[in-house]
Amino acid sequence: MTMGSLQTITTQGADELVILPRADYDRLIAELEDAQDIASAKAFEAREASADWLPWDLAKRLRRGEHPITIWREHRGLTQRALATAAGMTAAQLSEIESGKKTGSVMTLKRMADVLVVTVDELLPFVE
């Protein structure tokens, strides 16, 4: 069956095949690639829009060496007691970590990161 420059061929027991000129095929592939690029760009923009960036004043404090846990805790509007309770630790333990007296275990950092909705890496002190 011929439909303009488009042909369909049906074979018994097989899927329907479509034959079209190379120029039409190339145009369809280009449009598909464009659509995929647009979808990728929109997904990236959505991730960027939902990303949680620190305000400039908190970023400066972080750069000056304040503990990232303190910065993110304050950014989230949590007291030491609230973060400690949510992370399953005492406020005294959290205070020692924020002051640099202790580092905290990986599991402790993971629990705090989960509460603060950040990665563990974002809670590690800045080192030049």
3-state SS, residue 99? coil
Residue 28 resides in a domain = yes
Quick one: 70 and 25 in the same domain? no
Residue 112 resides in a domain = yes
Quick one: 42 and 63 in the same domain? no
Q: How confident is the model at residue 2 (pLDDT cuts 50, 70, 90)?
A: very low
Token output for 24: 């039409």
Token output for 54: 């620190």
- pLDDT tens digits along 43-97: 766 665 555 788 899 999 999 999 999 999 999 999 999 999 999 999 999 999 9
Provide the CB-side half-sphere exposure for 36 (13 A, CA).
6
Cβ–Cβ < 8 Å for 61, 71: yes
